Amino acid sequence: MSPAPLAAYPALRLRRLRQADWIRRMVRESVLTPADLIWSMVVHEGDGEVPVASMPGVSRLSVKECAKAAVEARKLGIPAIAIFPHIDGSKKDALGSQAADPNGVIANAIKAMKDAAPEVGIMCDVALDPFTDHGHDGVIENGKIANDPTIERLVEQGLIQAQAGCDILAPSDMMDGRCAALRTALEGAGLQDTMIMSYAAKFASAFYGPYRDAIGSGKLGTGGAPIDKKTYQMDSANTEEALREVALDIAEGADMVMVKPGMPYLDIVSRVVETFQMPTFAFQVSGEYAMIMAAAQNGWIDEERAILESLGAFKRAGAAGVITYFAPRAAKMLGA
């Protein structure tokens, strides 16, 4: 369809459609609702809530508090919650063994949240970094992240999560072939209805720092481990490679795909949506959250306006939804 020809000024005055709130709402091209939000949440093994210093307003929640949050999400119209673990450092090892614990904090949180609010979807991170003492997403062999041995561990982890009642497995590790391995394992275990939202285009980014604080991640570079994640997460300069990564995950059985981080990569979101026409989500990561909150607390920006404007940008780029720590606040601001 060809665009309508533009009249010349003064016949055409674009400001006519901006002169009042009602007309701005009536011609708005993209709309953000609570149904577009996935609530990003960190669960810990202890009791109550533990504030995360680098993320003002965010706390690690106990299993009991996560169950309460699921009820709140249902009330607010938030369709799903993405949970991430914080475990005691003494339980971590080089293989991330606790990731496959059927009685671990993630399995317990899934069950508690599903008991409290079965209508709310639960998404689980499939990656080893919260459980390894070296902070990497995979198994280290000879100083390198070993792809296939890592996948074996991820499959164990994913099956435990799915058997506990997780609705969406979200592999964030960026190992080659992990979606195919997870899908095959799920089918073999009779868990064919479990969905996969792959972190298909996950970039090696400076914006993950506060999250590492939130989950108590091991320090990169310790014990001969690589000092960064650039051998498996993507180069921030690449677009075509992102499309190849997405294509691979779709071919391997991913039901939905994700771009991470979010706002610095809106061009990637747009290209993925246009190229594949698949449900595509963006993750407004911890660093994005922290920047908005820090600027707002210093009085440099309007906090609520910045929250909604940033989330709306993902919808404008074509995203089906956004994983965000702002989910409950944004839902309330949207009138839930």
CB 39 within 8 A of CB 123: no
Q: Work out the angle at residue 153's Cα, subtended by the Cα atoms of residues 148 and 157, and round it to the nearest 5 degrees.
A: 140
SS3 295: helix
Is residue 242 in a domain? yes
Q: What is the chain's length?
A: 336
| Phi, psi dihedrals of residue 244, rounded to the nearest 5° | -65, -40
Is residue 14 in a domain? no
Full domain range(s) for residue 104: 32-333
Residue 317 is inside which H or E element, if any?
helix 303-317
- Residue 111 annotated to the active site: no
Is residue 1 in a domain? no
Is residue 178 in a domain? yes
Rounded Cα–Cα distance for residues 273 and 281 (Å): 9
CATH code for the domain of 273: 3.20.20.70
Give one DSSP letter per residue of 122-173, joined into a string: EEEEE-STTTBTT--SSEEETTEEEHHHHHHHHHHHHHHHHHHT-SEEEE-S
Is residue 43 in a domain? yes
Query: Would you give per-residue pLDDT tens digits along the chain (336 residues)?
Result: 677 788 999 999 999 999 999 999 999 999 999 999 999 999 999 999 999 999 999 999 999 999 999 999 999 999 999 999 999 999 999 999 999 999 999 999 999 999 999 999 999 999 999 999 999 999 999 999 999 999 999 999 999 999 999 999 999 999 999 999 999 999 999 999 999 999 999 999 999 999 999 999 988 988 788 999 999 999 999 999 999 999 999 999 999 999 999 999 999 999 999 999 999 999 999 999 999 999 999 999 999 999 999 999 999 999 999 999 999 999 999 987
The number of folded domains in the chain is 1
Q: In three state form, how does the secondary structure of 254-283 look? A: CCEEEEECCHHHHHHHHHHHHHHCCCEEEE
Is residue 86 in a domain? yes
CB 88 within 8 A of CB 133: no
- Residue 260 annotated to the active site: yes
Is residue 67 in a domain? yes
* Residue found by looking up tokens 């499959």 in the block: 155
The residue from 202, 229, 230, 315 that is catalytic is: 202
The residue from 92, 114, 229, 260 that is catalytic is: 260
Number of Cβ within a 10 Å radius of residue 28: 10
* Residue found by looking up tokens 């609570």 in the block: 34
Is residue 297 in a domain? yes
